[in-house]
Structure 1
Amino acid sequence: MKPFLTALIRKKAINDDTRIDHGSGELKRSLGLFSLVMLGVGATIGTGIFFAMAEAVPKAGPAVLWSFVIASIAAGLTALCYAELSSFIPASGSAYSYTYVSVGEFPAYIVGACLLLEYALAASATAIGWSEYLNNFLQHTIGWSIPLHWRSPLMVSGANGLEMHWGNFNLPPIILVSMCCLLLLRGAKESAMVNGIMVLIKIAILVFFSVIAFSAFNSHNFVPFNPHGMLGHTGETGMGIVPAAGTIFFSFIGLDTVATAGAESNNPKRNVPLGIMLALLIVVAAYILVATAAMGAQPVAAFIGQEAGLSAILENVTGQKWPAILLSAGAIISVFSVTLVLIYGQTRILFVIGRDGLIPKVFQTVHPKTLSPVANTLIVSVMVGLIAGFVDSSYLWDMVSMGTLVAFSLVSIGVTVMRLKSPELVRGFTLPFGPWVIPSLSVLACAWIVVGLSSITYTIFAVWIGFAVLGYAIYGIQNSKLALKGT
């Protein structure tokens, strides 16, 4: 029993993920600070603003602004923890790699499972939302709508639970995922360059939206400001500020994406922590600005079930089609950027887990010319595409938040563990107030948001973790590189 328990907590040395030999199992270090910041912003801005408002506003009313603040604080505390760990563990795999070094192999495997859940479902949910803005753009430009059965999922959320709508297939997300896959196969540098351009476009579009929406600002839309309280009143399941924060928290996944690029950064000890913090500042400013403008431009009831929400707001405010067309075009580009970076992050996490021997070797194989994980990218893209094509996005948002919150919590714990275990290590960035204050606040903030998630989210998450534990028991524990080394 003791050897088994020892295997569960065996740890990887810090320098195990810092190789730069560009062999058949290594990635190419080609990303600078700007590319890292754009990866973080690209994976974050777009999801929460373009889609989640329709999910979160009905839960919290105008107090959804506090939901964004709560989610931002939790993400900010965690971002500081990421910054310290990434300053002396310059590896791909983000939370997975940090946990492997600080806590041990089995906890790292569970974090890896959380990250895979978070990235795959976030990419699928985001790709699903792309359909709304693409259809809106086509309606306003050429007067044609994508047939409903070609932009609706097979499995949808109905009044009586899961409903099967045979003959439905959401085609646009499949097209989007395929385009992202082709671009990623060309390599990280090319993908990062295209992403950077798209991020600058999306920021300009959101500023454009805010300027026009504020011209129709009506303070009466904020009354009553907090109709459902923090956790909902009696009988209001899933309502309130905290549940809404849980719904939108997934949109801060981009902070983790910066850390997944540690092995492809040309100066990871400096640029990864700095990239995380800069991305956070840009994201928080954009979210609060756009959410305030949107809430001021229309009443809460208008958000319920609203498709292509920001585009619809501009059309209602101006009474003209061209602002809605421009915003829909911007959203199409923005969501492409988000989906691209999320799939990228998923493949890099699988790459590192595969290199550690915990999953089959196919996930760590890279193309000799582009140094990109080809088979890995194809497998991830097929999985993301199938989920996006057949599943209703309403099932995905809270699951993404659950995976993100669990991973973020373990990263925060890892900071304290490494401070106590290896205080002599040179850190490029060190948390203020000692090893306990910020990590503890980060864990508490994440736990507070988790409390507001639905019971079905807990059930699905438990099933997923059960499969992960089974996979580790059958394959990972005996094929781990540390096991083969006799560690």
Structure 2
Amino acid sequence: MSLFARIKPLEAIIATAEKKSLHRSLGAFQLMLFGIGCVIGTGIFVLTAAGAQKAGPGLMLAFAIAGAICIVAALCYAEIAAMIPVSGSAYTYTYATMGEFLAWTVGWALILEYAVAASAVSVGWSGYFSGTILQEFLGVSLPAWLAAGPRAPGGLINLPALVIALLVTWLLMIGTRESAMFNAILVVIKVTALTVFLALTLPQAELARFNPFLPAGLFGGFGSGVGAVGAAATIFFAYVGFDAVSTAAEETKNPQRNVPIGLVGSLLFCTVFYILVAAGAIGTIGGQPIMGPGGVPFPAGSEALAQQCALPQYAQMLVCSDEALAHVLRQIGFSQIGNMLGIAAFLALPSVILVLLFAQTRIFFVMSRDGLLPETLSKVHPKWKTPYIVTAITGAVVALGAAFLPVGQLADISNGGTLYAFMMVAIAVMLLRRSHPDLKRSFRTPALWLVGPATVAGCVFLFLNLPYLAMAVLPVWGAIGLLVYFGYSRSRSSMGRGIVEVIDDIAGAETAIPIDPQ
């Protein structure tokens, strides 16, 4: 009995997809706008300080490196999303190409990715809440032990991050979702705030502040998490969301032309936008890291860095700010506009937490539906009509992570799962080209012989440049997942019991195909 023999019939998945009658209405420009809205937001508001501590002015190069890897990964996503446009994302794609076991590892990694990412955004929101709303507007400062986790001097628990995570969880449990109009307004707020930031900072930028450009070097060494490449591994978080564009391939006019334009165009726009924001921040108040022993930057989010930032000579540095962009504007004399930018982040970030929590519970739901997780996890509340049990469990874990861990470390941990999932998608696309060459593909990844291996290599390269602790989390989490799979999931999965059901959550279609259990 082969461990890799349980492959979900691709025909069943595609049969379900074909029952949806999606109208091709999106053009290249619409896809670009959609991509920009999905990508710009959390990372640039939250991770600018952590990235600068790792790379200094080289943060600009880090954005370019991460953006390039995202572009090749996006092209792989586009082909397979157009072929298999059903729930489950990378988990479903892997199930259809490499089998249940590897699909389990991808789903398990995605559970980690979304939960930890939601914690990271909660911590980022907390910085803007404490700095802009409480201190600047209300003149109130939270006690140190309530404003940050134990790694900060005097810190014990990040209460605002804990509260926002639990509040969003509650909203998701009772069925509240953001509307398309609300999301569009938030996109406008975010892009407008960052555009104003550029208009105010770039004219005041000084070239001298960019020297040295790479204070920690281009490549700090595998597992170091520093240098421009180490920063790229962290701020890769700022690009997550582009895969949502890939899923729109089925609804795109002339997808072979418009999907690459939409994907590459939106990612190029975001990359240039991010580089300019980094240039504006660093060029006005400086972005050199605080160096530790041996001329190596103190790790972002570490207790040692927090102790340095508590000293008067470092307190106003970019790398020490919990609300970096608002802090920059205050430092150059635009306090009120800085506060407005802080409010923009304060308003926009909770919706990101909601989307991440929703995505995580969606993966849980699909895996539970496949029998890989207990059915009770996806039990729907009779009144709220939501999977309230798994949402509550997820929210509790997210809140605990947000309460006790710094944002930089959370982003690094989240990126480990993301990079693994992206790598598996690229492998799945290449395998499908060989196993199902004649299947209809409304979009074909150009030069897959180059783009596919480049995606795999890029994801592995960034993963190896995460800090050792962040790298270790994924295999440890994976080992726990293997215990769950072999102890529970393998014997109870639908494939193991000889039946596979593919249910489309939008159309309500269901396809059941008997199979031989392996």
- Shorter-chain TM-score category? 0.7 to 0.9
> What is the CA-CA distance between 1:281 and the residue it aligns to?
4.7
Q: How does 1:276-295 map to 2 (within 5 A)?
A: 280-295=267-282
Q: Deviations over 1:261-295 (max 9, x none)?
A: x6xx8x85549995766653553343223122222
Q: CA deviation at 1:59?
A: 1.8
TM-score (norm 1): 0.85
Aligned-pair distance for 1:330? 0.6
Any idea what the Cα deviations from partners look like across 1:79-117, whole Å, max 9, x if unmatched?
111110000100122111111112111111111121111
Which residue does 1:385 correspond to in 2? 399
Q: In the alignment, is residue 239 of structure 1 matched against residue 254 of structure 2?
A: no
CA distance in 2, matches of 1:280, 1:187: 32
- Asked if 2 retains the 8 angstrom alpha-carbon contact of 1:42 and 1:341, the reply is no
Report the alpha carbon displacement of residue 157 of structure 1 after superposing the two structures with TM.
Answer: 7.0
- The answer to whether the 8 Å contact 1:269/1:428 transfers is no
Task: Show CA shifts across 1:287-346 (max 9, x none).
Answer: 2231222222221232222221101100111x2421121011011122223212211211
| Partner residue, 1:309 | 324
**Greater mean deviation of Cα atoms: 418-427 or 303-312:** 303-312
State the aligned residue count: 462
Q: 1:409: which partner in 2?
A: 423
1:209 and 2:197 equivalent? yes
Return the alpha-carbon distance in structure 2 between the equivalents of residues 321 and 476 of structure 1. Answer: 55
* Correspondence for 2:508: none
Alignment RMSD: 3.2
| AA matched with 1:297 | T
Residue among 471, 479, 482 paired with 2:492: 479
1:333 is matched with which residue: 347, 362, 371?
347
Structure 1 residue aligned with 2:283: 296
Kept in 1, the 8 Å contact 2:67–2:268? The answer is: no
Per-residue CA distance 1:401-421 (angstroms, 9 max, x = gap): 211111111111111000111
Distance (Å, rounded) in 1 between the aligned partners of 2:426 and 2:373: 25
Q: Where in structure 2 are the equivalents of 1:45-84 lying within 5 Å?
A: 45-84=40-79
Q: Distance in 2 between matches of 1:37 and 1:171?
A: 37
- Residue 298 of structure 2 corresponds to none
CA distance in 2, matches of 1:209, 1:327: 8
Q: Where does the alignment leave 5 or more consecutive residues of structure 1 unmatched?
A: 159-164
* Structure 1 residue 374 corresponds to structure 2 residue 388: yes
SS in 2 for 1:436: helix
- Kindly state the Cα deviation for residue 362 of structure 1 after the two structures are TM-superposed: 2.9
**2: CA distance, partners of 1:136 / 1:228:** 29
Distance in 2 between the 1:225 and 1:250 partners? 22
Q: Structure 1 residues 453, 200: CA separation in 2 closer, same or farther (over 3 Å shift)?
A: same
- Contact 1:130 1:332 (8 Å CA) reproduced: yes
Q: Which moved more, 1:370-379 or 1:105-114?
A: 370-379
Q: Deviations over 1:374-404 (max 9, x none)?
A: 3332322222112112333343221112111
- Find the counterpart in structure 2 of residue 467 from structure 1: 480
Alignment of 1:457 with 2:444, yes or no, is: no
Distance, in Å, in 2 between the alignment partners of 1:354 and 1:469 is 16
CA shift in 2, pair 1:258/1:475, >3 Å? farther
Aligned residue identity for 1:59: K
Structure 2: how far apart are the matches of 1:52 and 1:19? 40
CA contact (8 A) 2:9 2:96 kept: yes
Q: Give a deviation string over 1:170-193, Cα, whole Å, max 9, x none.
A: 221233223423443465864544
Letter of the 1:314 partner, please give it. Answer: L
Aligned residue for 1:395? 409
Are 2:137 and 1:136 aligned? no
Secondary structure, counterpart of 2:446 in structure 1: coil
TM-score (norm 2): 0.81
Shift of the 18–52 alpha-carbon distance from structure 1 to 2, 3 Å rule, reads farther
Say whether the 8 Å CA contact 2:205–2:279 is kept in structure 1: no
Q: Unpaired runs of 5+ in structure 2?
A: 289-316, 499-515
